[in-house]
Amino acid sequence: MKHIYLNLKRFDVPTEFGGVNRIAPVAEWAEYIVKNTQDELKKYDRSEVEFAMYFPEVHLLNAAKAKTEDSPIKVGCQSVYRADTAVGGNFGAFTTNRPASAMVAAGCETTIIGHCEERNDKAGILAEAGVTDTDAVNRLLNQEIKCAIERGMTVLYCIGEKSEEQDQWQEVLGKQLEIGLKDVDKSKVVIAYEPIWSIGPGKTPAGKDYITKIARFVKEQTGGMDIVYGGGLKQDNAAMLASIDEIDGGLIALTRFQGEIGYYPEEYLEIIRLYMGK
């Protein structure tokens, strides 16, 4: 089974506010994306590949509403809170947070947890509080994963090492897997590997041998869980990633990296075509 994920980050922000959204007005943005991709995605066998899109929270209702009855798109949110509502318990005292129950009610079937940007945010907050325990972030993410699964969602769980952690990559990734997946139903989770040290302008992308090495390590540590490349599936590396037997898909974000950079539905579909070979 292949998995093609799309992390739309904050690509809804218009260019006049410093964003990269040139495709649609903010109120119509999610609807535009779903309507301009779902019909083309129907040509792929759903027993061979799944498609999920992780939207900023404000767009979830429009994204879910734009789906046709036979749409292959799974609408997802960008992480969930580590606690949830409960009958006879907390009824919604979660100001600023998004419990899994609210996300499922909004139409979400899946969520992305542990993206390097989420990890950095949590680590920064803990550092301000004087917490130096490097495993604390993994424990928080573990709670989020459990909340999502208990609400019936599937999870894309991101792991990755920074440049200063490369020499200890086995220890770093091992703890992210061990702690993050503790007591979790692994059948509901796919791993995304982000080589954080290689992502960004001016950095050398991770090569095939390195990605293969990490994918094999993850499968060994998890008993064969599916793993996708989270460092950015794009036109330039689609064929290379497709040639790695241990890689089960990829995470797309930006589709254009020069000129009018941003996310464009037609380029997203081309990346999928190149990766799937059709």
Contact 52, 5 (CB under 8 A): yes
Catalytic: which of 31, 118, 161, 194?
194
- Range list of H helices, 44-99: 60-66
Which of 149, 213, 216, 215 is CA-nearest to residue 182? 149
Output phi, psi for 136, to 5 deg: -60, -40
Q: How many CB atoms lie within 10 A of CB 47?
A: 7
DSSP single-letter state for residue 246: T
- Residue reference for tokens 């429009």: 62
Known active-site residue 59: no
Question: Taking Cα atoms as reference points, which of 4, 11, 7, 55 lies closest to residue 261?
Answer: 11
Catalytic residue among 31, 115, 144, 161: 115
| 115 carries an active-site annotation | yes
**What residues are annotated to the active site?**
115, 194
